[in-house]
Structure 1
Amino acid sequence: MSSGLTLGICVPSSCDRQSIAALAQNLFKNDNITENNLLCSNDAASKRKSQPGGVVVTCVVLSLLGFLVLTGTIVDLLLASRPESATHVASHLNGYNHISDIRSTESKSMTLPRHSRFSIQALLDATPRTVFIAQFSAIRTLRHIFTMTKKDDENSLAFIHGLRVLSLFWVIFGHSILFNLYYTNNAVDILAWSHNMAFQLIVSAVLSVDTFFVLSGFLTTIIFVREVTKKKFSLRLFILYYVHRYIRLTPTFLLVILVSINLTPYFGRGPIYPAIQGFESDGCRHHGWWTAILYVGNLVHPNDMCLGVSWYLHNDMQFHWIAPLALIPFVIGRKQIGYFVATVYVLVGIGSISGILLYYSTMSLNLFAEATDLNGPSFFNKVYITPWCRISAYAIGLLTGFMVINVGRLYRSNTYTKLFGTLLAIVVGLT
């Protein structure tokens, strides 16, 4: 069943709902259109007599974070302005910065009262507390983001930056166009565009996400093997493998969901802007939010998943959970088992997609199936966001990591092998 036609028009503020309903009746020659069929963008703003509790909580959380960033920036500037700066040696592991050495100097030119707990001298000293607060500095964060340090050691994987940039551009370019197709003047024109070869770059943008799955599997293998080589495999390392990733992703992820639920209704206005509920559905507010905490939103209540694009994060976390089934045998000397498990993951992905498409032979693969609310199973819910259908790319990353570790970084393919691989990839991609 079709979801019907949604018409967005802009009218002067002097128009009331009755006059707009009369205009729609005359326009469509349909007397069944009443005021109940209208959704005015300024209705939500006029009905809000007080801010909901969630909005207040979100604003308080953002204010506290802003204060922490401001404080960290000030402390960072004070530490940088000392005559003799402290020496910080930072080691990077899984995205974390660990301060491994802090040498503080004493300033003899300033005498302050002992009761001054947060004195200027305390801020100037590179104590663990001040160094921790300085980690939230906006200046330091921006410096890390926009500074590219080239490393020539054996642990450097500089080629990944190029893959990330190209894949990220592809994802942004394709999704920006596809998401805006729903608001085009004439969607029929898209059918003519689709016959153009260049348009395949846009249609295939949904496949570019697999590049990030490959990179994720590859980096997981490299980092895990490095840690086991340094510290030996132990129960503690195994537990930290899960804890580190969860702590690194979850706070930011939940903050974005909090903002999306409570503040997006205030981000815009207009005929088609969701000014009442924002970017998230009522299902997300009621029982979809907890699935994000557990990273199972693509499996439990997928239609109520908060932040629809977070399906990737759910899949990547789920792959991270089961990756040790291949990683542990590899690091303890049973490399054949590691290769076997990763290969099984690849076959599971291929078999799942084939089986689902054969079982749901009438399932529509149309990109607009979700928008038109078609009956029957959805390709998005059954195939696109399910881990058993997307694990192949991640497993390819695991296998690539295994091979790089075995043959070393100095292995070079000959020109004919590279040429054959490139042509094969082009042929497979165009078929």
Structure 2
Amino acid sequence: MHVEQEGVKFVIGICVPDSCSSRDITTMATLDLLKYRGTSFLESLPSFVIRNETIPVVVETFCSRGLFPADTFAIISLCLSGLFIILPIIASIYTALLNFKASSSFEQCKTIILQRKHRAPELEKPAGKSNFPSEEEYGNEKKHTCIDRVLKSFAIQENFPAVTTVNPQNQEYPCLNGIRVLSLLWIISGHTSQLASVFNIDNSFEWKSKVLEKPLYFYTLSGPVYLGVDSFFFLSGFLGAKSFLILTENSGQEVTLTMAMSYIYKRLRRLQPLHLASIPISIGLISLVKWGAFWELPKHQWDSCRRVWWANALLITNFVSVSDSCTGWAWYLSTDFQFHLTTPLVIFLYVRAKRVMFAVVTMTLAACIITSTLLSYFLKLSIRYPRGESQSRMNYWVEYYTKPYCRYGPFVVGMILAIMFATKQCPYIKNRAQAILGWMSALVIMVTVITLAFVLDDTPSSYSIMAALYQGLHRTLWAVALGLILVLCHEGYGGHLNTMLSCGTWSFLSKISYACYLTHPIIIIMYCGLQEALFHYQDINMLYLFIGHSTLTFIVGLLLTVLVERPFQRLMRL
């Protein structure tokens, strides 16, 4: 039941016999027949919430029965999800048989069987028989070879070792693995807290007073509104520019249209197979689960995927359907891909005219900062976490948070750092004093970015220009701090932190991080939606919830990497 009293809206979830209709529940609530421990469901809110003594009104009532019908859309999603499991199993069995056939044990058995068979005299053979395979046999052999390669692409025994094998010697920047995985864990922590607080926390006032107001809890929401995502943008810009620079070196310092198209195709090949596979998997799970009172978010996903799945396929969800997107967290993929479209142009300008390139990049970065600042000032956007009226929160996510012209800064920092590494003739850090200064600068920037989010006044009634400037600058500054850490670690001044970030465990988890990013919101949504009682916020409860979500996310991420991501990448290389 959606209930409202003097503009304050709240939701009441109840379990009733399936013979009751939504109209019956509305009528019973209006007649004060529905009570919990003697208290009416339409009891007035406390005086500190509302000003006047009015009676709550039932706005609308929904029944979760029949919300997720097994129609054509759901059946297709379930079939595709089943195919992602069945095909690797069949391919694994087929590959195992081929491996056994090629083994020495099989050859020994074959020799024994042939020795026991009666051999016909040589004269009985047809005189004109050729020892070479016929054209038909050659065609069959070629056909079987193609099938072998396709099936081996999905074989678990072919993909699992490639994912789990760790070889730090082949990695030029091993500390990036630690930054990537820690950023992912930070994002999982933010979504764990955010989704639980929105749907099923019974002490939301305590959660808001702690998590949203105290700097000590910056880890709970992944910093001031998901700085972990900006870490990913920085890494993507750095690795993307580095990859394209290698292409230019191999081609003799030339940037051609063919190279640019090849780069973009490789990026699509990296993103889309698992991204598009996650849609039927999520829809299949939603259709199978028996949802309780917290069904609104799964239903939103269900309806949105029916209408705007094509936006995910075209990687334009951050412009087309931000508020009603299919797998809303996939906005990052669209924004990241749009950033990568600019990488060939930047490297082209760098190869042809370095000064022009730096001028264009500087103006673009300045435009990004100015745009973010102006949007924040006129829309009065929060800097710690979107709160206030629903329209204000929607403006934050739709007009600022998901738009590429507001998030381009960290990606640019990554590209510039990759170019600096490609052109350096000597180390940037020449002595211990410079290393200490670099570490102090990086730490000061990070602490300042987090602290100012809780110091600056961003209330709508007294919104300051400093809050708007912070909104325009802080994500780029965060990327600058990460760049300093990368330089220090790469040039041998990382110390124990570099040892920790370069640990082999991060290398393994980094390989499955993309699948983990796509699946962890589904796991959190399912957990919230299956609850039959409200969740009581405590630090220890949230910590255990985070550990559980993270562990299950890494397990599912490993399965999807082995069963879907890596097989399709190998298949697209054939």
Q: With structure 2 as the length reference, what TM-score do the two structures score?
A: 0.60
Structure 2 counterpart of 1:89: none
Structure 1 distance, partners of 2:11, 2:441, is: 48
Q: CA deviation at 1:209?
A: 0.5
Residues 81 and 281 in structure 2, CA contact (< 8 A), matched pair in contact too: no
Residues 261 and 285 in structure 1, CA contact (< 8 A), matched pair in contact too: no
Structure 2 counterpart of 1:102: none
Structure 2 counterpart of 1:77: 96
Residues 329 and 337 in structure 1, CA contact (< 8 A), matched pair in contact too: yes
Residues 221 and 402 in structure 1, CA contact (< 8 A), matched pair in contact too: yes
Which residue of 332, 350, 362 corresponds with 1:312? Answer: 332
Structure 2 distance, partners of 1:329, 1:69, is: 44
Q: Is residue 72 of structure 2 the alignment partner of residue 44 of structure 1?
A: no
Residues 54 and 262 in structure 1, CA contact (< 8 A), matched pair in contact too: no
Distance 1:297 1:389, change over 3 A: same
Structure 2 distance, partners of 1:274, 1:267, is: 13
Q: CA deviation at 1:219?
A: 0.3
Structure 1 counterpart of 2:552: none
Distance 1:325 1:241, change over 3 A: same
Q: What is the aligned length? A: 392
Pairing of 1:113-128 with structure 2 (within 5 A): 127=145
Taking CA–CA contacts closer than 8 Å with sequence separation of 6 or more, which of the two structures ends up with the larger relative contact order? 2
Q: CA deviation at 1:379?
A: 1.0
Residues 193 and 220 in structure 2, CA contact (< 8 A), matched pair in contact too: yes
For the residue of structure 1 that corresponds to 2:341, the secondary structure is helix
Structure 2 counterpart of 1:170: 186
Distance 1:55 1:16, change over 3 A: closer
Structure 1 distance, partners of 2:420, 2:99, is: 44
Pairing of 1:384-423 with structure 2 (within 5 A): 384-407=401-424, 412=429, 414=432, 415-423=435-443
Structure 2 distance, partners of 1:425, 1:162, is: 20
Going by fraction, where is helix more abundant, 1 or 2? 2
Distance 1:423 1:245, change over 3 A: closer
Q: Is residue 168 of structure 2 the alignment partner of residue 150 of structure 1?
A: yes
Distance 1:19 1:81, change over 3 A: same
Q: CA deviation at 1:234?
A: 3.1
Aligned AA for 2:28? A
CA RMSD of superposed structures (Å): 3.7
Q: With structure 1 as the length reference, what TM-score do the two structures score?
A: 0.78
Q: Is residue 400 of structure 2 the alignment partner of residue 383 of structure 1?
A: yes
Q: CA deviation at 1:411?
A: 5.2
Provide, for residues 119-140 of structure 1, a one-character-per-residue CA deviation record: whole Å limited to 9, x for no partner: xx979x9945423321211233
Unaligned segments of structure 2, at least 5 residues: 1-5, 33-39, 44-54, 115-132, 453-574
Aligned AA for 1:348? A
Provide, for residues 288-332 of structure 1, a one-character-per-residue CA deviation record: whole Å limited to 9, x for no partner: 2222222111112422222110111110011011222211122x3
For the residue of structure 2 that corresponds to 1:42, the secondary structure is coil
Distance 1:347 1:209, change over 3 A: same
For the residue of structure 2 that corresponds to 1:216, the secondary structure is helix
Pairing of 1:15-414 with structure 2 (within 5 A): 18=24, 21-23=27-29, 25-26=31-32, 27=40, 28=42, 33=58, 37-44=60-67, 48=69, 51-81=70-100, 109=111, 127=145, 129-152=147-170, 156-182=172-198, 183-193=200-210, 194-203=212-221, 204=223, 206-232=226-252, 233-261=255-283, 263-274=285-296, 278-280=299-301, 282-286=303-307, 288-330=308-350, 332-361=351-380, 363=381, 367=385, 369=387, 373-374=390-391, 378-407=395-424, 412=429, 414=432
Residues 2 and 374 in structure 1, CA contact (< 8 A), matched pair in contact too: no
Structure 1 distance, partners of 2:167, 2:343, is: 30
Residues 342 and 398 in structure 1, CA contact (< 8 A), matched pair in contact too: no
For the residue of structure 1 that corresponds to 2:316, the secondary structure is coil
Distance 1:143 1:25, change over 3 A: farther
Q: CA deviation at 1:79?
A: 4.4
Residues 14 and 293 in structure 2, CA contact (< 8 A), matched pair in contact too: yes
Distance 1:228 1:398, change over 3 A: same
Provide, for residues 212-258 of structure 1, a one-character-per-residue CA deviation record: whole Å limited to 9, x for no partner: 00000000111111122123443322211112222332232222223
Structure 1 distance, partners of 2:383, 2:214, is: 19
Aligned AA for 1:5? F
For the residue of structure 2 that corresponds to 1:278, the secondary structure is helix
Structure 1 counterpart of 2:564: none
Bigger radius of gyration: 2
Distance 1:292 1:357, change over 3 A: same
Aligned residues with identical type, % of pairs: 22
Q: CA deviation at 1:24?
A: 6.3
For the residue of structure 2 that corresponds to 1:163, the secondary structure is helix
Structure 2 distance, partners of 1:188, 1:409, is: 55
Aligned AA for 1:167? S
Q: CA deviation at 1:84?
A: 5.8
Structure 2 distance, partners of 1:341, 1:353, is: 18
Structure 2 distance, partners of 1:306, 1:380, is: 15
Structure 2 distance, partners of 1:355, 1:148, is: 46
Unaligned segments of structure 1, at least 5 residues: 86-104
Residues 346 and 393 in structure 1, CA contact (< 8 A), matched pair in contact too: no
